[in-house]
Structure formats: C-alpha cells, structure tokens
Amino acid sequence: MPLLQRTLVGALLGLCVLVAAVASQAATDTGATDTGVYVEYRESDQPGAPVVDRWRLYGASYALVIGIDNYSNGWPRLSNAVKDAELVAEGLRQKGFEVELLTDVDGVQLRESLRRFFAYKGKDPQARLFVWYAGHGHSENGEGYLVPADAPLPGNPDFNYTALHMGDVGSMVRIARSKHVLAVFDSCFSGTIFSNQRARPPTAITAAVKRPVRQFLTSGDAEQEVSDDGTFRTLFLRALRGEETADANRDGYLTGTELSFYLEDRVINLTQGIQTPRGGKLRDPKFDQGDFVFLMPNAPAAPGAETAPRTTTTERGEPGPDALEVTFWKSIEGSQTVSDFEAYLQRFPQGTFVELAQSRMDTLAQIAALQAPPVPTKRVTEMNATFVTLRNVNLREGPSTETATLGRVASGRGLTVTGKVQGGNWYRVRRGDQEAYVFGDLIAEIDSKELVIWELARETGDPAHYAAYVQRYPQGHFAAAARDQAAQPAAESVSANAAATPAETQLAVGVFPNLPALGTSFSDCDGCPEMVVVLAGRFRMGSPDGEDGRMPSEGPASTVTIARPFAIGRHEITRDQWMACVRENGCDYVPKSEPWETGRHPAMRVSWSDAQQYMYWMADKTGKDYRLPTESEWEFAARAGSNTSYWWGDDFGRNNANCKVCGSRWDRKQTAPVGSFKANRFGLHDTAGNLWEWTEDCWHDGFSGAPTDGRAWLKGGNCSYRVLRGGSWLDHPRSLRSAARTRYHSASRHEFVGFRVALTLAP
C-alpha cells in the first residue's frame, strides 16, 4: 500500500496515495474458476427471522489486482504496493477468484486493463467483480485521480491526460452487466463517485442482496496520509479469512457493508483517528441496492438449525439421548460432506434433524452437479515461452513418470511451454491441440527465432542456412552441429559479411548489389503479405526533448544504423491473411469477427505469441526468415526519412490516419481497411493509426543501453511485455507519432492491436 511521508504531502501539493480494490474484470481471455457462491436469506433483517430460501448468488468471481512501485516521472517510488497486490491476489485466489495481477502499469495499460475487465469479464450477469489498485493517488480541485507509473507530477499538462480520473472509473463500472462490483481504495480520496454509507449493516441477509450494486471503500479521507506498512492489506485479508470478526452478525457471509465498518473501526483505532476509512455505493439508484458478498469459512447453518432442542442430562448427570443427538448434529451442521449427514441418519433415523439432514444432502448434491471438475492437486504458474528438447522426451498425462505417456518428441524439436508446476521440475506444454507435461531436465528455453532458423536449416539441408544460423547464434543450442554442416561456406559467409558492414550509411545501396531498389515490392506466395524493400541506413531514433506529446520512454534519442537491408509488410496483416494461416493449421487462434469486418481489414485481437505462430507458418511455407520487425526497424521504416513528429510533418492535419480524432470516417468507430490512407515515402500504409503493431523487442523504460545496429533488444528489461508502435483507432493523435511506443503482455489480445511482418534480406 502506497505511502506519502508527512513531508512529501506538503512538498507535493497535497498529493495522496491511492490503493484501489475496485470491482473490475480480470483476464479477458480466460474463463472463471469459481463454481458458485450460495447464500441462505431470511424473511427480513430482523434478528431471528426465518430462513426462506437458498440462492445461487454468483456463478463466477473475477478480480483485477494492480500494484505500482516503480514511478518514473517525478513521483516518489513506493515500497509495498506490489507486495500488497501480490498478497491480495493470492488471498482472492484462495477465495475462488480468477485473478489477473498487473504491476507497474503505465497510463495506457491502467485505463485499458480496467476497461477490458469491466467490458469482458463484466459481460457475465452472474459474476462478481473485484479490483485492487495499489499506487499513488492525487486530489485536485475536489477531483480524484489514480496515478500510473509514467504519469508526470500535477502541473504538467500530460498529468491530466495520463492519470485516470475517478469519474472515468465510475463510468467503467456501469458498463459491466455483472450484478455486484466492489472497489476498495487504500488512500486518501476526494471527488467521490459514491455516497457515504453511515448506517450500520443489516443484521441478516435478505432477498435485497440479489439486486445490483457498485460499492467502494477507501482507507482514508481526502487529504489524509496513508501508511505504507501493510496494515490495511493485513486487516483486509484477515477479514476475508475469518481471522477477525468482520462478519458482524456471524451468519457466515461477509458483505461489503460489513467489511467497510470493520475496516473503519480497526483503522481508526490503530491510527488514533489519523486515518478514517470511508465506504459507500455509487451515486446511481440503479446500482446502490444490493451488497457484495464473500463466503466465510464458517458455512451458514441449515434452515431451522437454530430450533434444535437444548442439551439435557440423565438423573446421574450424564448426557441423555437428546444431548448426544444435539452434540452430533452441532458437529456436522456446517459440513460440506454428504457422508456426514448419511452418518447422522443412520445413527438417529427418528431424530429431530432428519428432515434438515435430508435437505442438506439434496442441496450438496445440487451444488456438486453445478461444480466444474476438481482443480488439480498440482498448481501451475502460467507462462508462455518456447523451449527445445535436449533429447528424446516423453509427453506425460500428468507431472509424474507414473502417469500415462501421450506421445514422444524427438531431440532438437520445439515445444510451447504454457506453465511450470509449482514445487516440481515439470513443465506443462502444448503440442498442437494436445496438453501434456515434460520433465524439466529434458528441455531448455530458447529464443523462438533461433529455433525457426535452425528448423529451416535442418529441413532444407542448405549449407547457407546452417551458416546463417552460426553467424546469428554462435553460442546457440545447435551451434556445433550447424558448424559441422556449414563447414567452409560458413567461414566464407562470415568473412564476406564482415567486409560488407558499412562504416556509415544513409541508404547503402551499393553494399548489397543483388537486392532490388528501395520501395520494390514482392510477395512470396499467393496470399502472402506484400513486402516492401527497405535498404540499410541511419536515422535518429526516439523523440527530441521538445516534441509535443513526448513521453520519457521515448528517449534518450540516439543515432541508430540499420546495418542490413530488410523487407517489411506494406500493410498490417489482414484478416484474410490470418485466416489462411488458421485454415492451414499454422495458427490456432480465431479472432472474433465484427459485423463490419471484411477480409481487407487488419487482423486485430492478435497477441505477440499468436503473431509468432504466423511467422513460423510463413517460414515453413516460404523457407525464408519471416519475423516481427525490431523496434528500430519499425521506426526507421515508419519515419521513411523524416525527422518530424509524424512522417508527413509536425502538424497532425486531417484525414491522414485513423484514430480517435483524426478526421476520418472511421474515427473511434472501427478499423479501416488496409491501404485506406496515403502511404509514406517508403510505400508503407498505416504506420500511424488503425492498430498498434507488435515488434520483436522486450520492453525497456527508455533507450539507454539499446542496440544501435537495428537488432532486437532482448536482454534486460521485461520480456513478458513486448513493444508496440503506431497507435490505433482508439488513441489520441499523440500516440500516432513516429516515436510513440507502449507495451502489452505478450499473451494479451486487444481490439486495438495487430502486426505487420518483416523479412531479413541479407545474412
């Protein structure tokens, strides 16, 4: 939980730390893991009111948990926001939530992750949504903001653009169809979007809990200081686990209202009134009726259990028959196991609780029928990486040599690893449509492009391909075998290339005399992407300090030499081109089709990992080294010799691209068919707008230490996130600048993301 020390509050114009547990959607591409939450509700909220029904309140539970420590644009770094987020995520998983955990997100990621969460996970009306945000917050002129990692300090015009206004959060929670949403902010907070809730919670759950609600909870009031010692998170988790009595009426359900009062009482007491948490519901009569519900460890008693007869004793002071029955019943009344109630019926066939026992057994049977298959005993940490087999391996049904063998994979073959078994040296792999497990000592992680180049060489047997592999990966997994195959041709290739590297290049045409001229286009097969030749050259990468809309991650600007000519797609990959890969079993994923989409629209909702499958397919199909462009290649091609904000100049103008306010007929409505706007000087379309485009590079916060020869930057940084360029139909023009860049997780799929392909032309 974020901390602004007392001295910082004054120095930073009243900035406040904000930690939000907002009811939000988690991952957009995975299904719910919670199989349902059931509640018994009473005739009224009066003490002792009879239970009248049992109801399936939720069918699924989703959480988006966000923690930000590493601020990069003037805000103080935090110590515990990410740690708190990780612990909250684990606590929610234990409560049956499907959790997406994000850390150190920038402004685009913060806004889009929340919007995706409410739009996609929130489409389920039977779900409950929860978000935890841990990071800086700010209050200004009575309005509240969430502060992402890249936001500048208030006073900078970019602050209002980058930070997330709480009014926007209020709008996002309304788009979800899910009945219940809970938001908790561990921070000072002003500019409320909710009405304070001062009345004590009802004494029992009634049918009113079924109604919609959007609830919010903060750990402090406006202008208050919020500690960074984990206290609020600790209290929250204790309440969830039932370790402290947050469930005020002890009925086995913790409501959002009860949670609010518990945290208010405990925090005020611990801080001696310095922090005063607040809770309430959205200022909207449609969304202030129900109450968010957590199921506590103590299951609710069966209807009527409170009417059990009192314990009696015999004349000798020993427990009588009624007392034994009551004792037995009390020991099982909250049980989730059918056999406990069967044992009761066998021992007390005429007992007081026979009808209740039978009813309880029927209820448990109904619940079991609705539940998904049991979760495997071995938990798996999700991942998405390419591995290679070090020897012949068996594909196992489970993470054990005692499980059945599903198949074998020969040595030197690639595997897509989707997860690692926790506490063991086993990996979950995907091979076609099959999921299996492989022992960790038999495989090793490998750069996906290394594997592609090796497989091309092995399949063609061409010495030149082996030489190309050795040159690019001299210490690679297969370097020794490749050298044996390449022999003399490899040595000649290395020598020739060393001599061919230009000392300085603007457009080094003569260095590679056998290549087509700049702008020449070609296609390697019917339906393959149209490729445009881009010659070697030199340019200034990044944005200058004074460029309007510049972000810190775009610098420092530096000279980069594109040492080798390459080809790049004239257009973004279209839906027709993507579906050709699907039809030929090269690509697994079939993106959702919008009513307005045609085959000439760019393929969207494609992840970086999906794009790699397309590259493998193209490489297999053509025998050439198709790949994603490196980030520097992309900017070089997009600028097309310009040094202005946009390839056409510094003035954005109108109808030059498709974006939020570009002046085109597609603005903020949909993508445009590829080639709808004029091409840049290299003949490329849509390098500005339409869709953000994946590059090969891992994410780094800036260009300090970046390669200066056009290679992909794959060392250091965060390789779970990959760089995107170009902006999209949903973005402000500043995101369409030639230097603008952002990042997303390599497995994420979005309606504003696509890609174009590149191809090495000289070894």
301 within some domain: no
* pLDDT band for position 511 (cuts 50, 70, 90): very low
Which residues touch 390 (CB under 8 Å, ≥6 apart)? 411, 441, 442, 443, 444
**Residue 622: is its pLDDT beyond 80?**
yes
If asked whether residues 259 and 398 sit together in one domain, one would say no
If asked whether residues 615 and 527 sit together in one domain, one would say yes
If asked whether residues 436 and 456 sit together in one domain, one would say no
Mean pLDDT value of segment 24-50: 56
**Residue 504: is its pLDDT beyond 80?**
no
If asked whether residues 742 and 728 sit together in one domain, one would say yes
* pLDDT band for position 752 (cuts 50, 70, 90): very high
If asked whether residues 419 and 541 sit together in one domain, one would say no
Mean pLDDT value of segment 239-244: 84
3-state secondary structure of 676: coil
**Residue 310: is its pLDDT beyond 70?**
no
* pLDDT band for position 375 (cuts 50, 70, 90): very low
507 within some domain: no
**Residue 373: is its pLDDT beyond 70?**
no
The most confident of the ranges 35-49, 117-131, 275-289, 451-465 is: 117-131
**Residue 34: is its pLDDT beyond 60?**
no
102 within some domain: yes
422 within some domain: yes
Distance CA 302, CA 353 (A): 10
Mean pLDDT value of segment 371-391: 72
pLDDT on residue 659:
95
pLDDT on residue 216:
84
Cis peptide before 373 (omega within 30 of 0): no
Q: For residue 85, which of 157, 4, 22, 170 has the smallest C-alpha distance? A: 22
- CA angle (537 as vertex; 536, 540 as ends), nearest 5: 145
Name residue 762's amino acid.
A
Distance CA 38, CA 57 (A): 6
Q: Which two tokens stand for residue 556?
A: 């420092």
pTM given for the model: 0.42
Asked which of 249-258, 372-381, 388-397 is least confident by mean pLDDT, the reply is 372-381
Mean pLDDT value of segment 295-319: 45
Last residue of a domain, one of 239, 274, 295: 295
Contact 325, 310 (CB under 8 A): no
Please write the tens of the pLDDT for every residue from 186-225. 776 644 566 666 556 666 777 777 888 888 888 776 666 6
Q: 328 φ, ψ to 5°? A: -60, -45
Asked which of 1-5, 634-638, 659-663, 687-691 is least confident by mean pLDDT, the reply is 1-5
Please write the tens of the pLDDT for every residue from 432-487. 656 899 999 999 998 877 877 777 667 566 677 778 788 888 888 888 888 888 87
pLDDT on residue 539:
94
If asked whether residues 409 and 484 sit together in one domain, one would say no
For residue 685, CA distances in Å to 276, 469, 638, 690 come to 55, 32, 9, 10
For residue 224, give the CATH number of its domain: 3.40.50.1460
N- to C-terminal Cα distance for the chain? 51
If asked whether residues 599 and 490 sit together in one domain, one would say no
Mean pLDDT value of segment 648-659: 94
Distance CA 119, CA 605 (A): 15
Which residue is associated with the tokens 């994979």?
409
If asked whether residues 547 and 635 sit together in one domain, one would say yes
509 within some domain: no
The count of domains in the chain is 5
Asked which of 251-255, 298-302, 458-462, 597-601 is least confident by mean pLDDT, the reply is 298-302
If asked whether residues 669 and 707 sit together in one domain, one would say yes
Question: Which residue segment(s) compose the domain that 454 sits in?
Answer: 450-500
Mean of all residue pLDDT scores within the chain: 79
Mean pLDDT value of segment 633-648: 95
pLDDT on residue 478:
87
pLDDT on residue 198:
53
For residue 399, give the CATH number of its domain: 2.30.30.40
Mean pLDDT value of segment 667-696: 95
516 within some domain: no
If asked whether residues 139 and 267 sit together in one domain, one would say yes
pLDDT on residue 157:
79
**Helix ranges restricted to H, 587-660:** 608-622, 631-639
If asked whether residues 348 and 400 sit together in one domain, one would say no
Distance CA 103, CA 113 (A): 11
pLDDT on residue 759:
92
Q: For residue 255, which of 268, 269, 232, 239 has the smallest C-alpha distance? A: 239
**Residue 565: is its pLDDT beyond 80?**
yes
* pLDDT band for position 298 (cuts 50, 70, 90): low
If asked whether residues 438 and 535 sit together in one domain, one would say no
Please write the tens of the pLDDT for every residue from 161-193. 899 888 888 888 888 989 899 988 877 664 456
